Structure 1
Amino acid sequence: MKKRSLLFPILIIATGIIFVTRLFFLQIIEHDSSDISLNSSTIKRIYTYPERGFVFDRNGKLMVANEQTYDVKVIPNEVKPFDTLEFCKLLKIDKDYLVHKLARAKNYSRWLPSVFLSQLSKEDYAYLQEKIYKYKGFSIQRKSLRNYPHKSSSNILGYINEVNEYLAQKNPYYEQGELVGTQGIEKEYEHLLRGTKGVEYKLRNRLNKVIGPYKEGIFDTISKPGEDLTLTIDLALQEYGELLMQNKRGGIVAIEPNSGEILALVTAPNYDPNLMVGRKKSKNSVILFNDSINKPMIDRGLQAAYAPGSPFKLIQGLIGLQENVITPSSSFYCHHGYKYASGKNNFMGCHCNIVGRPIDLRLGIAKSCNTYFANVYKRLIEKYPTPQQSVTKWAEHLHSFGLGNYLGYDLPSGRKGNIPTADYYDKIYPRKTWKFPTIISNAIGQGEIVTTPIQLANMIAAIANRGHFYTPHILKKINNQNIEIEKFTTKRHTTIDKENFTPVIDGMHDVYTNGTARHVQVKGIDICGKTGTVQNYIRKNGIKYELADHSIFVAFAPKENPKIALAIFVENGGYGSMIAAPIASLMIEKYLLGTDKLKWWEDRIINTSLEKEYNKQTSIESLEVAKK
């Protein structure tokens, strides 16, 4: 009984000893010799931000640099009462802004720093630096801001934005108010360009004052600058393409066939990349993104999708040869068009103006004969037992050229386009009674076929290489060291045999010697090309409004050992031979020769404005909105 009466006091004493021992261990031993979590509120982190990497073109010309800027940061729990009137005057802000930003900072974190005001000018920084000591909890953080020496390539370069709360929570590397690449290569290669920020860990005491470096700075790191990138872009060619496309809408994509390197990626209209930098960025971005008429923030080389028109006849001929429904000497007669079914409206017109004599593949390409390629397509669709089988085979060939899907290039935007399949038509026509006359528009690159300029440029690169291509890409070097990424150095083969390319390439060469582009030949260069003109209209509320056709041209040069392949789309530009073809010749001459033998054409194209056509289209669209 006596032993039992001592048990309870012994348990109390033992428990007390355990608690005291544990408290001693936590507060004395572990506090002094073990690591406090670096995320603990007793640790203050001070970041140093690296310079983002510089960006150069393929010839070493600087495209993106940095300039110093300064942010005012705040830690809400360290803020003490201060003269708000003087503070607002110093920063050129009003009291409402002050209250809003402080509330936002508290909502983000009371203990962690966040950006209160970004991108101070050097003058404002110098003035504020002398008085910042008066405002507890506020500090000035130096960081670099982008600078663009050339008013060019905005669609390629992209821009940087401040990190928002969502990204800061999603990615632990970033804190709110830091900078991150948002579009273009700034986004795609953010992990290389951003560098690594440095951090110092400071220990606070129980009064929240910094008492020195944590663990004598053994966890501190220094910042590491971002990597410098060299792009495949030829800046001189890029700027020239932008000059030729001024007062027009569309895109130009130029590729080096033997590597897949993108030489130029022009979109029109574009904007000065410096508009997306500095304190005026927010205002400018609203204007640019809300411009629903010109849409300067859309990269038309990657994101605009058009019917390919007559350039599609090239691949139609290749498939015809591969499927043995034609030979290079197979010929057809054209009587100003092709009648594909009974009835007066079932007639496809043609403007090749070759009547009364046979037209073979080479001549059909040179003169862009609709009748010739309608016959080829009819034979393709009727080769197999059912149209479904034929269209499936036809689509397989097209997909091998990279059409109808993302190409896999190293830019963060694009569209798939559309190559119609048997399933696609079976959904449109549930009774599955569709036949060749139903889909005849595909014969000349219209109908349901949709491509982007970069897909067409890649298709032409594959033709120039006689059956293979490399995935288009824009990164060439990192820190001036050549890189080899397997995805970009692996040949991708088409389903067309090499020998079948010869008659098609000969036909493309004839386009320049005696065909639709003979007026824009460049002396000393054998160019192979193909014009295209695509119907353009708006249909709303049952009314069809005819607009000027889209002007298209594809080409590569020289004929042997080609160095450049390109596609040009000019919206509402009219005949492909009158705007797109001269632009192609001028771009090729610029890249291969650096001369201006086509000076008359250069002046004409630069001074050609299509604003009246675009205003007409806008007026029609506005009229339709008013009717609704």
Structure 2
Amino acid sequence: MQYLEGRKYVVQGIFLVVALIFLTRLFFMQVLDGTYKLAADKNTLQRLVQTPYRGLIYDRKNVPLVQNTPVYDLMVVPREVKNLDTLRFAELLQIPLEDLRASLIAAKKYSRVKPSPILQNLTTADLAIILDKLGDFPGFRTQTRMARAYRTPNLAHALGYVGAITPAFLEKPKYAKYQPGENVGISGLESYYEQTLMGRRGVQYKMVNVRGIEKGKFRGGEFDTLSVAGQDLHLSIDAELQAYGEQLLAGRRGSIVAIDPKTGEILAFVSAPRYDPKLLTGKGSGNRYMALLNNPDRPLFDRPLMATYPPGSVFKLVNELVALQLGVVQPSTGFECNQKLVKCTHRHEYPGNVSIAIKNSCNPYFYQVLRAVVQRGQAPNKYDDAHIGLAQWQKMVKSFGLGEKLGVDMSQEKRGLIPSPEFYDHKFFNKKENRQHRWSFRNVYSLSIGQGEIGITGLQMANVLATIANRGYYYTPHFVRGIGNGGPLPEFQQKHYTAVDTTLFKYIIPGMEMVVDGNGGTGNLASLSQYGITMAGKTGTVQNPHGFDHATFAAFAPVQDPKIAIAVFIENSGFGGTSAAPAAGLMIEKYLRGKVAPHRKRWEDWVMYGDFTKHLHGM
């Protein structure tokens, strides 16, 4: 009993000691809280995010295209705003009272404790006016950041633009670390390489008094982190060639894409109509964006990546290669120019072999080539036979990078269309009768001349020519040849082979040379033989049910050591040989020779100002 009684006193003693400790801590906490409250009345802890220096963008010759310039934003932390005279503050900022109130409501909705932008892109003069009186308005502070400055009036569609992050962006997980007022890549390379260009944010904790005057770092800066600048992008774009291409297509609608076949690097990327990337920077950029968006000429539309056209006669090259691979034709195979099958655009010599057929772009010849591909007697009736043959054709054609996204380092790329048997099953299904109408080669023969349901982009067409230049493989086209001190992304260094044996490509190239430099070739206006430059190309005239036909021309040069592959689309411009071909010839001359001969200025004038809807006389 005495032992139990002793334990009782020990337990009571322990409880008494614990209670004394708790009361003592409570007393000191109240004292400290009063001390901290007094300090809080004098000082406030601010968490300042340090936005890193955004990476720069250069062309292939290290000419700067995109740099940074300082601008100033006025920020607000709603919880710190005290007795705000909104009318007086709106007058100071020189903005409508309604706009100020709307911005304050939006800031509170986002966060009461985090800074939100009230005014952005302030000049130094604007800042000087505000800064003198900003101390009278607690809760407001200025923030310096770097905005984009474009050193070129060209390449807007590829570069894209940077803008203030929107509430919709902030809701996405990938932008969780961004804050209102920060910039983010909205489109183009600025968007695709956002994480590379952005770098890593830093954070500083500072003590400031109620008037916003800095009182020093919080705890000596032990919690601060340094920002890390974004990495620079080194593009494959040749700025001079790009500017020249945009000059050639000024006033036109269309595209020019040039690729280095040996690497897949994009040398020029022209979308017409164009716009100056500077329009989407600085004050008023929102209004200018809406003006571009509502422009009936659609200057914001990225034609090389997003406009899909039937390729026209350029596609005959792909069909011929597929036929050679399947063994249904030989290089020496000839077909009569039988216009009962399909019309031919002009009179020409008998297409006794593939070279003559390509040179003259004989429609009946290539009709019979594709018929030999699709109808191979693999099924007892023509309908099933066509179904099987077209499926095999589609698979081989898609190996050229058609009908799928190539994977270029831009987010808005379109797939285009290489139709499948299932596509035609759906097309020829009669909903009213609820039954399937059978189809055969006669229903899809327009594919033989690159018409009908086929759709490819300008980038894809240039890539096809790069593939032929390489005799059977391509690298994924890309804009960035170097990131920081390194090279391009690994996926841009892999070869992609087609389903056609590499030994067969040599059989179509002589005919392509004859297109440009042969007597009566359809692409003679692209010829650079006077400078000793050999070129292999193919013209195309794309039927357009909504107006005048579109013109196209695709080529590569020099033939034995290709350094450039190019595709030109010019809308509503008739024959490819009279408009797109001279444009391509001028671009290739500019790239390979570094200049265009003075006596060829008449071709520049023709491409820029000529009336393509009329027959080309004396040119």
| Equivalent position of 1:438 in the other structure | 443
Residue among 333, 347, 350 paired with 1:353: 347
DSSP-derived class of the 1:354 partner: coil
TM-score (norm 2): 0.88
Structure 1 equivalent of residue 38 of structure 2: none
| CA drift at 1:145 | 1.1
CA distance in 1, matches of 2:20, 2:176: 38
For 1:50-105, what per-residue CA distance to the aligned partner results, in whole angstroms no more than 9, with x for missing partners?
32111110011111111111000011111123454443233220211111111111
Question: Residues 395, 26 of structure 1: CA spacing in aligned structure 2 closer, same or farther, 3 A cutoff?
Answer: farther
1:536 aligns with one of 531, 537, 544: 544
Relative to 1, partners in 2 of residues 1:128 and 1:351: Cα closer, same or farther, differing over 3 Å?
same
The amino acid that maps onto 2:170 is A
Q: Does 1:304 align with 2:310?
A: no
1:516 matched to 2:522? The reply is: yes
From 463, 467, 472, give the equivalent of 1:462.
Answer: 467
Q: Secondary structure at the match of 1:529?
A: strand
The separation in 1 between residues aligned to 2:563 and 2:266, in whole angstroms, is 12
Amino acid at match of 1:71: D
Take 1:420 and 1:441, find their aligned partners in 2: how far apart are those partners?
Answer: 12
Conservation of the 8 A alpha-carbon contact between 1:49 and 1:142:
no
Equivalence for 2:617: none
Q: 1:325 to 1:202 in 2, by over 3 A?
A: same
Unaligned runs of 5+ in 1: 32-41, 340-347, 539-546, 613-628
Distance in 2 (alpha carbons) for counterparts of 1:492 and 1:334: 35
Q: Is the Cα contact below 8 Å between 1:247 and 1:610 reproduced in 2?
A: no
Query: Could you tell me which residue of structure 2 aligns to residue 554 of structure 1?
Result: 554
Aligned length: 578
Residues 545-593 of structure 1, C-alpha deviations (whole Å, 9 max, x = no match): xx11000110000101100001111111111011111111001000001
Please tell me the residue identity of whatever aligns with 1:64: V
| 1:611 positional shift | 11
1:19 shift after superposition: 10
The structure-2 alpha-carbon separation of the partners of 1:11 and 1:179, relative to structure 1 and needing over 3 Å to count, comes to farther
Tell me what 1:563 maps to.
563
**CA-based RMSD:** 3.0
Aligned residues with identical type, % of pairs: 39
Tell me: CA distance 1:211–1:603, structure 2 relative to 1, closer, same or farther (3 Å).
closer
1:382 paired to 2:385: no
Partner-residue secondary structure (3-state), 1:586: helix
Query: 1:248·1:609 contact (CA, 8 Å) conserved in 2?
Result: no
Amino acid paired to 2:470? N
Secondary structure of the corresponding residue to residue 350 of structure 1:
coil
Kindly state the Cα deviation for residue 14 of structure 1 after the two structures are TM-superposed. Answer: 8.1
Please give the secondary structure, in 1, of the residue aligned with 2:312: coil
Q: Map of 1:410-425 to 2, 5 A cutoff?
A: 410-425=409-424
Residue in 2 that maps onto 1:544: none
- Mapped partners of 1:284, 1:116: distance in 2: 20
SS of 1:225's partner is coil
In structure 2, give the amino acid aligned to 1:446.
Q
Indicate yes or no: 2:300 matched with 1:294: no
Distance 1:327 1:419 in 2: 24
- Offset, 1:608: 3.4
Alpha-carbon distance in structure 2 between the residues aligned to 1:581 and 1:445:
18
Which letter does structure 2 place at the counterpart of 1:517?
G
1:512/1:27 CA distance change after superposition, 3 Å:
farther
Of stretches 513-522 and 262-271 in structure 1, the one that deviates more from structure 2 is 513-522
Q: Quick one: distance in 2 between partners of 1:11 and 1:397?
A: 90
Distance in 2 separating the partners of 1:412 and 1:354:
44
Counterparts in 2 of 1:555 and 1:208: CA distance versus 1, 3 Å: closer
- Where do 5+ consecutive residues of structure 2 fail to align? 34-43, 380-384, 430-435, 615-619
- Report the 3-state secondary structure (helix = DSSP H, G, I; strand = E; otherwise coil) of the residue aligned with 2:303: coil
The residue aligned with 1:593 is: 593
Q: Is contact 1:69–1:119 with CA below 8 Å preserved after alignment?
A: yes
The answer to whether the 8 A contact 1:533-1:551 is kept is: yes
Structure 2 CA distance for partners of 1:301 and 1:10, relative to 1, 3 Å: same
Q: Secondary structure at the match of 1:146?
A: strand
Q: How does 1:176-575 map onto structure 2 within 5 Å?
A: 176-202=180-206, 213-291=217-295, 293-335=296-338, 337-339=339-341, 348-354=342-348, 357-383=350-376, 384-385=378-379, 386-430=385-429, 431=436, 433-479=438-484, 481-514=485-518, 515-522=521-528, 523=530, 524-538=532-546, 547-575=547-575
Q: 1:535 to 1:27 in 2, by over 3 A?
A: farther
Alignment partners' CA distance in 2, 1:472 and 1:447: 26
Distance in 1 between the 2:573 and 2:195 partners?
Answer: 40
Quote the offset at 1:222 in angstroms: 2.3
Q: Which residue of 2 aligns with 1:96?
A: 98
Contact 2:525 2:585 in 1 (8 A): no
Q: Cα–Cα, structure 1 residues 11 and 381, in superposed 2: closer, same or farther, change >3 Å?
A: farther
What SS class does the counterpart of residue 44 from structure 1 fall into? strand
Dislocated runs of 4+, deviation >3 Å: 9-28, 82-86, 202-215, 608-612
Are 2:138 and 2:211, in contact at CA under 8 Å, matched by a contact in 1?
Answer: no
Distance 1:587 1:157 in 2: 21
